[in-house]
Structure 1
Amino acid sequence: MADPTFDPRPAAPGDDSARPAPAAVPPRPAAPTPRLLGWEVACVLALSLGAAAVSSMISFAGLLTAPESLPDQTASLIGSRAAEERPWLDLSRQLFSLAFALAPVLLVVHLLHRSRESAATIGFDVRRPGRDLGSGAALAALIGLGGLAVYLVSWRLGLTVTVAPSALNEHWWQLPVLVLQAVKNGVLEEVIVVGYLMLRLRQLGWSPVSAVLASSLLRATYHLYQGVGMFFGNLVMGLVFCWFYQRYGRVMPLVVAHALIDIVAFVGSVYLIGRVDWLPSPG
């Protein structure tokens, strides 16, 4: 059926009534105000590592009030999510947890784009793979060896719980899941706690020293469930990582370093805990 509003006659010169109106161009979003940035940071942390810090403090209170000493208590970092005879259910839950644990990172990248920035603003990209891998490996060696020393000494002094990096049941997918967990930790923590948080704190007018201390203290707090020794160990790690980020402006080497540290810890625990005398073993 013909459109009754259609007029086949050509429009007269200068007559714009028959021409369609140009589509309206949506305005670009305005730059966020300090108030909005503050609420944004609070929401991101509440959905991610800020909540982990509160949970860790509650767990630490439980450690201190337990009848056992700290070394006699165990903190399992990665555990099975189904009975050993149901490996596919366990694997499904592991992969589900991994995928949705990274949702705050996607939110951060989205928020950066909305504020006319991007992941590249904090150096979360693959423009320099060789240099990022090299510097990340060097940081991993420095922090990893230092962290192991802090853990062993603080455990001997009764300041740290016995950490069991992996309590997964033995299945063919055990090691791949541990590697994925390590990569997830590196991406989640370094993108949010270093790259995003330090960028936003500086935009809110915080001094460089204040931003470094806030980021490092947050990192230490959400590791407090492992004991006092690991609180201070992660505080030092945070200070080193923040210094590196302020100097080079790239978070990707920190992601690499953190992932490598956790891969060695998770996979190494499978083969070493209970087989060597110098490494604490859960009772």
Structure 2
Amino acid sequence: MADSYPQVGDSRRILRSETVLVLALSLGASAVSSLISFVGSLTKPGGLKDQAATLNGSYAPGRPWLDLAWQMFGIATALVPVALVAHLLIREGAGLRTIGFDRTRPWSDLGRGTLVAAGIGSAGLAFYLVARASGFNLTVVPESLPDVWWKFPVLILSAAENSVVEEVIVVAYLLRRLDQLGWTPMASLVASSVLRGSYHLYQGIGGFIGNMVMGVVFVLLYRRWGRVGPLVVAHTLLDIGAFVGYALLAGKVDWLPTP
């Protein structure tokens, strides 16, 4: 009997199904959850800025070792979809090097990522403050962890995990699959950036718009550089600045909103 090979139409259906499943297991599900959360915030008495969205909170208040176990479990399980993407790319005959998530150009990735973070960081903070003051955003609480020895290491690990998950899946993987499915570059840019904004909608309209704009910039940079490494670096630095900066400054400076 002759071997049976998938036809072009079958391959496209497989790619579509694969992409939907990866997103359903990761940031697509987060987008739906964020939308539900946003609707809940809108329908709750009081303005958005009087409500808070906590990014890194305690899972077991008063039990630091159990809390640490839950924190590490949450970080590890969040990275599983990235491992799935790596597996799928390897089966494709590509691998993570194809999307520029490797150690072949560490200094270039670090330098570019640092410049991007410096450019986006200050603008992003200013936009958040304006959006919150205008009533379009909840008060974002980057961390509310207890003051224990593992607080800052966990915040840094959480920043790195967020960055790897978002940039590998929403930029590198999604754009690769949409390209293979025949989407135009503009349609892929819109899909990636709107998805990024959607899973930040729990922060409010400001969180949606700000992250969507960041998504546009990141897609354009990825297209230009062909590497997701600098974007992971930039996102990690931005989140470390937000998480650790809030932990150090909350309640000590007047310009930083707190609940």
**TM-score under structure 1 normalisation?**
0.88
Of the three residues 24, 41, 58, the one matched with 1:63 is 41
Cα distance, 1:114 vs. partner? 1.0
Structure whose residues are more often helix by fraction: 2
Q: Structure 1: which 5+ runs fail to align?
A: 1-26
Aligned residues: 254
Cα distance, 1:146 vs. partner? 1.2
Cα distance, 1:48 vs. partner? 0.1
1:241-260 matched pairs, under 5 angstroms: 241-260=218-237
Q: Which residue of 1 aligns with 2:103?
A: 126
| Corresponding position: 1:180 with 2:157 | yes
Q: Which residue of 2 aligns with 1:199?
A: 176
Secondary structure at the aligned position of 2:69 is classed as helix
Render the CA deviation track for 1:68-100: whole Å, top value 9, x for unaligned.
10000000001001122x111000111111111
Render the CA deviation track for 1:83-123: whole Å, top value 9, x for unaligned.
22x11100011111111110000000000111121111111
Of the three residues 64, 77, 81, the one matched with 1:104 is 81
Contact residue 168 and residue 174 of structure 1 kept, 8 A: yes
Cα distance, 1:144 vs. partner? 1.1
Structure of higher CA gyration radius: 1
1:20-31 matched pairs, under 5 angstroms: none
Q: Structure 2: which 5+ runs fail to align?
A: none
Q: Which residue of 2 aligns with 1:95?
A: 72
Cα distance, 1:186 vs. partner? 0.6
Cα distance, 1:43 vs. partner? 0.2
C-alpha separation in 2, matches of 1:157 and 1:98: 33
Amino acid at match of 1:39: S
| Corresponding position: 1:216 with 2:193 | yes
| Corresponding position: 1:229 with 2:203 | no
- Give percent identity, aligned residues only: 57
C-alpha separation in 1, matches of 2:25 and 2:207: 23
C-alpha separation in 1, matches of 2:198 and 2:122: 21
Contact residue 150 and residue 230 of structure 1 kept, 8 A: no
**TM-score under structure 2 normalisation?**
0.96
Render the CA deviation track for 1:187-239: whole Å, top value 9, x for unaligned.
00000000000000000000001001100000000000001011110011000
Contact residue 175 and residue 267 of structure 1 kept, 8 A: yes
Q: Which residue of 2 aligns with 1:8?
A: none
Displaced runs of 4 or more, over 3 A? 29-32
